[in-house]
Amino acid sequence: MNFVVARKIMPSTGYMRYSPTAKITRAEFLMMIMKAYNIAPDLNPVDNFDDADQTEYSGYLAAAKRLKLSNGVGDNKFAPNAVITRQETFTFLYNILTLTNKLGEGEIEKKVSDFNDGNVVADWAREPMQKLISAGIIQGSDNYIIPYSNTTRAEFAQIIYNLLKK
């Protein structure tokens, strides 16, 4: 947690509190991952998701839309306050790494379908997750990738630490 907090990637959840087990919303994740890779928010968005509202993450959502980091959830909506799933986490991460040319060529031959729960990965998340598996970014746990589980602040911190410390 110290790594992402010290770099002002992850905000506190109160005075000196970081709530490592708290789940992350889609907007929080997108804002933090964009900060981690120095992708600036749009200051005067001309196109945004209909549910972006005027919040601290509005400019990040507009930039994500413009850069095609996210297509949203349909009907020009992003669902910013929905808790993010692991497959959404990895899809956003794949898009960021591709945009910033930080996703190396993968040499690991394991496939999504090799995981015990690989058959439940959504079609839209399958290719991004496969690329991250091949690149060694996703290893799973006990041969599970748990695509519908939610991402916690501690898991986000660990992902960013692993990627930025390379």
| pLDDT > 80? residue 6 | no
Enumerate the β-bridge partners of residue 141. Answer: 144
| pLDDT > 90? residue 9 | no
| pLDDT > 80? residue 166 | no
Tens digits of per-residue pLDDT, 42-93?
998 889 999 998 888 999 999 999 999 999 999 999 999 999 999 999 999 9
Rounded distance, CA 28 to CA 15, Å? Answer: 18
- Residue carrying the six token digits 């990895």: 90
pLDDT confidence of residue 88: 97
* In the chain, domain spans: 1-13+22-84, 85-149
Question: What is the identity of the amino acid at 32?
Answer: M
The pLDDT confidence band at residue 3, using thresholds 50, 70 and 90, is confident
Does residue 14 sit in helix, strand or coil? strand
Percent above pLDDT 90 for the chain: 69
In this structure, are residues 81 and 54 in contact, taking their beta carbons and an 8 Å threshold? no
| pLDDT > 80? residue 13 | no
Per-residue exposure over 127-162, b if at least 16 CB sit within 10 Å of its own CB, e if not: ebbbbbbbbebbebeeeebbbeebbbbbbbbebbee
pLDDT confidence of residue 2: 80
- Tokens coding 25: 């919303």
Rounded distance, CA 135 to CA 109, Å? Answer: 9
Against a cut of 0.75, is the pTM above it? yes
Percent above pLDDT 70 for the chain: 99
The pLDDT confidence band at residue 98, using thresholds 50, 70 and 90, is very high
Does residue 85 sit in helix, strand or coil? strand
